[in-house]
Amino acid sequence: MMEPEHRSYVENALGRPLTDEELVIVADLASLPPSHLAVIEWVYRRDPFAAIRYLRAVTNDDNPSAVRKFVLGFDEFIAQRDKPTGLRFRQLYESKLGRELTADETVGATSLQSITRAQREVAHALAMKERGVAIAYLQDLVPQVRHTSWADMYVFLESLP
C-alpha cells in the first residue's frame, strides 16, 4: 500500500490521481505491467524522485539501488522498447490490415519501383481501406518519396494490382 504522502507526491508529478490498476503491487521490476510503465514514463522526466517513490510502492523489489537504476536508465529502456522497425506507423498499418506485418513487408526500399510484391500487396490492401494510410506506408518504405506529390502517389497506388 502506498503511503498517503508518497501517493500525493506521485499524483502531483503525474498531474492526476492514480487509478486502482496503477496501484496494483507486482513482484519485481521485470513484471511491471503497461499501466505502471506508462506512469513511470510520464513521471520520471518531470520528477525522477516521484518515479522512484512510485516504483518502491508498487513492487515487492526491496533493492533501492535497482529501483533507482531502473528509473535513471528509463530512457534506455524506452529506446529498447520502441526500437525503430523502419516503419513509423507500423501499429496503424497492422491495425488497418487486421494482422501483423511480416519482416519482408517492413524492409525499406530505394524506390517505389523496387518495393517487393508483398509490399505492393500491403500498399494495395491499405489503399482499399484508406489511401492516406497507404501513402504513409509507402513513404515509410521509401523515405525519398516523402517529397513526391500526393497526386503522383495516387497514380502509383492506382497502378498496383
Q: In degrees, to the nearest 5, what angle opens at C-alpha 147 toward C-alphas 143 and 148? A: 100
CA distances from 159 to 5, 65, 151, 155 (A): 63, 59, 13, 6
**pLDDT of 65:** 92
Give dist(CA 49, CA 55) in Å, integer: 10
**pLDDT of 124:** 96
pLDDT band with cut points at 50, 70 and 90 for residue 82: low
**pLDDT of 84:** 55
**pLDDT of 146:** 80
Phi–psi pair at 148, nearest 5 degrees: -80, 145
**pLDDT of 9:** 95
Mean pLDDT for all residues in the chain: 89
Task: Render pLDDT for 98-135 as a digit per residue (tens, 0 to 9).
Answer: 999 998 899 888 889 999 999 999 999 999 999 999 99
Q: In degrees, to the nearest 5, what angle opens at C-alpha 6 toward C-alphas 54 and 26? A: 35
Task: Render pLDDT for 51-73 as a digit per residue (tens, 0 to 9).
Answer: 999 999 999 877 889 999 999 88
Q: Facing residues of 145 across strands?
A: none
**pLDDT of 63:** 87
The full set of domain ranges for the chain reads 4-81, 90-159
C-alpha cell of residue 9? 507526491
pLDDT of 6 strictly over 60 = yes
Residues 55/70, Cβ–Cβ less than 8 Å? yes
